[in-house]
């Protein structure tokens, strides 16, 4: 047990709160508690900062933006008269090194350097095991009145026969490659698979994206179908609706046997990238010994106050197996810390949780999908406006995408918003605020939006419920 960045935990001290985990959720919980005057023990294992800054959001988005610049440079000549441009990734190793520098600087500034600012947070590095009355670290008890588990997740590997003998890549190791393969199989049609498949294809890799059901299965079907077409137009090969049969490493290449439409097919490439989900980091915590239950997906079971099934123990962030976004981890951990210290009065809510896929075009969504709204018993109305009706897209000569709104047909309250657009990620927050505040589609339709912005498409989509927006003049309505 070693001391880092703060006072050494003392076995004679009974801490108000012990936080297990040194990622975004762990830091959010510890800082929240410290700001309330609590004495906090924070237990970390592995690289400080967790998934997002080290191997997730930050590095992936840096690489996505780089190859996005390449794509749009190559597309510029076809879009704009009198423009000649071209782009290419000529030194992937240099790009990776630049990404690593960004990760290192953010990890230091946003994590390691923060701890000395909180005198009432004691940081200890070591493998944690939960215990009655606190947390054991290397066999020594850190006594605490309450405990928050925020140990995050890691890439999960599907149960494909032969996978253990295959040198597969994960979302972590793929972004550490110093040399790119000529061809790549990407397993998984979720947001990680989509983002990395497109990024690596734009870097010059021949990519085949393979998944069991449909692209972005949690998104609106119209968005998944449209994005699949855009990926194919860029040269990404799509194999959807397959079942995995076997995988092997033969003569320097990967062969994957799948069943598609009732027949067996073998797909091959130099390497394979597995992006089929994430597994909660719960091994060694001693959950069963304390009666802390888990969910079917392996996450720690919590109620709407982030309480586990053991009194005094809470869990937050990705380890709960739900809402696996860094901002939701931070939000949940902050709420858990306040509940642990102040009587469990705060309720976790994801009703207005924005979710983003950093594909190109980007996917932004918030609230209910059409299917979810119908299942919940609403009298559902929907509207869809394609980007060829949005002036911003016309001026940018990039009409890839659509906007779909879901509303309560009785009250006209906005229930969900789903955007596929080059700037969809920055536009979805307007809809998130609208849902949080209980606004109607009429409120959106009557609001003033700046002209020639992507977010103006929300106004047009709201107007589409009752009128043909193609017959409106600019800014009319």
**Cβ-contact 350, 316 below 8 angstroms:** no
- Count other Cβ atoms within 10 Å, centred on residue 11: 10
Query: What is the sign of the dihedral through the CA atoms of 193, 199, 203 and 204?
Result: positive
DSSP-assigned states of every residue in 1-32: -EE-SSPPP-TT--EEEEEE--SHHHHHHHHH
Helices within 148-248 (DSSP H only): 171-174, 191-202, 221-233
**Chain Cα centroid distance, residue 64:** 14
**Chain Cα centroid distance, residue 148:** 22
Task: Kindly give, in sequence order, each residue whose CB lies less than 8 Å from that of residue 114, ignoring residues fewer than 6 positions away.
Answer: 27, 31
Binding residue per annotation — 166?
no
Binding residue per annotation — 190?
yes
Q: For the purposes of burial, counting CB atoms within 10 Å of the CB of 260, is it exposed (0-12), middle (13-18) or buried (19 or more)?
A: middle
Q: How far apart are CA 186 and CA 197, in angstroms?
A: 7
Binding residue per annotation — 188?
yes
Binding residue per annotation — 318?
yes
Binding residue per annotation — 277?
yes
Binding residue per annotation — 469?
no
Binding residue per annotation — 189?
yes
- Asked if residue 361 has a cis previous peptide bond (ω within 30° of 0), the answer is yes
Binding residue per annotation — 191?
yes
Binding residue per annotation — 61?
yes
Helices within 2-158 (DSSP H only): 24-35, 50-55, 57-79, 92-110
> Could you tell me which residues are annotated as the binding site for FAD?
61, 318
> Could you tell me which residues are annotated as the binding site?
61, 188-195, 277, 318
> Could you tell me which residues are annotated as the binding site for NAD(+)?
188-195, 277
């Amino acid at each position: 047990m070693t001391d880092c960045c703060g006072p050494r935990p003392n076995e004679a001290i009974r801490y108000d709160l012990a936080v297990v985990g040194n990622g975004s959720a762990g830091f959010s919980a510890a800082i929240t508690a410290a700001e309330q005057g609590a004495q906090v023990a924070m237990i970390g294992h592995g690289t400080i900062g967790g998934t997002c800054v080290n191997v997730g959001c930050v590095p992936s988005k840096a690489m996505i933006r780089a190859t996005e610049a390449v794509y749009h440079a190559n597309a510029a000549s076809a879009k704009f008269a009198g423009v000649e441009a071209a782009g290419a990734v000529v030194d992937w190793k240099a790009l990776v090194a630049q990404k690593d520098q960004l990760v290192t600087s953010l990890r230091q500034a946003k994590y390691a350097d923060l701890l000395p600012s909180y005198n009432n947070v004691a940081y200890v590095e070591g493998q944690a095991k939960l215990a009655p009355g606190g947390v054991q670290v290397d066999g020594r008890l850190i006594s605490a009145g309450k405990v928050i588990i925020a140990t995050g997740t890691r890439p999960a590997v599907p149960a494909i026969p032969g996978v253990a003998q295959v040198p597969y890549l994960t979302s972590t190791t793929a972004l550490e490659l110093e040399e790119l393969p000529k061809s790549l199989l990407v397993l998984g049609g979720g947001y990680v698979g989509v983002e990395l498949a497109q990024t690596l294809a734009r870097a010059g890799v021949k990519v085949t994206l393979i998944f069991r059901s449909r692209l972005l299965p949690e998104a609106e079907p119209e968005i998944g179908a449209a994005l699949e077409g855009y990926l194919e137009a860029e040269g990404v090969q799509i194999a959807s609706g397959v079942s995995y049969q076997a995988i092997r490493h033969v003569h320097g290449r990967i062969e994957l046997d799948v069943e598609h439409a009732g027949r067996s097919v073998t797909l091959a490439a130099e390497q394979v990238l597995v992006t089929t989900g994430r597994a909660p980091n719960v091994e060694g915590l001693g959950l069963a010994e304390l009666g802390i239950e888990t969910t079917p997906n392996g996450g720690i079971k919590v109620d709407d106050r982030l309480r586990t099934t053991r009194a005094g123990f809470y869990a937050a962030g990705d380890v709960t197996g739900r809402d696996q976004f860094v901002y939701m981890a931070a939000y949940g951990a902050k709420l858990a810390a306040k509940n642990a210290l102040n009587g469990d009065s705060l309720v976790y809510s994801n009703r207005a949780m924005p979710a983003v896929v950093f594909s190109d075009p980007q996917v932004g969504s918030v609230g209910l999908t059409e299917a979810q709204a119908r299942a919940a018993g609403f009298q559902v109305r929907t509207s869809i406006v394609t980007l060829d009706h949005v002036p911003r897209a016309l001026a940018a000569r990039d009409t890839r995408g659509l906007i779909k709104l879901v509303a309560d047909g009785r009250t006209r309250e906005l229930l969900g918003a789903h955007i596929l657009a080059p700037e969809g990620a920055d536009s979805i927050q307007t809809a998130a605020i609208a849902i949080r505040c209980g606004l109607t589609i009429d409120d959106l339709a009557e609001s003033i939006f700046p002209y020639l912005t992507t977010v103006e498409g929300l106004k047009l989509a709201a107007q589409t419920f009752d009128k043909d927006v193609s017959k409106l003049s600019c800014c009319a309505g």
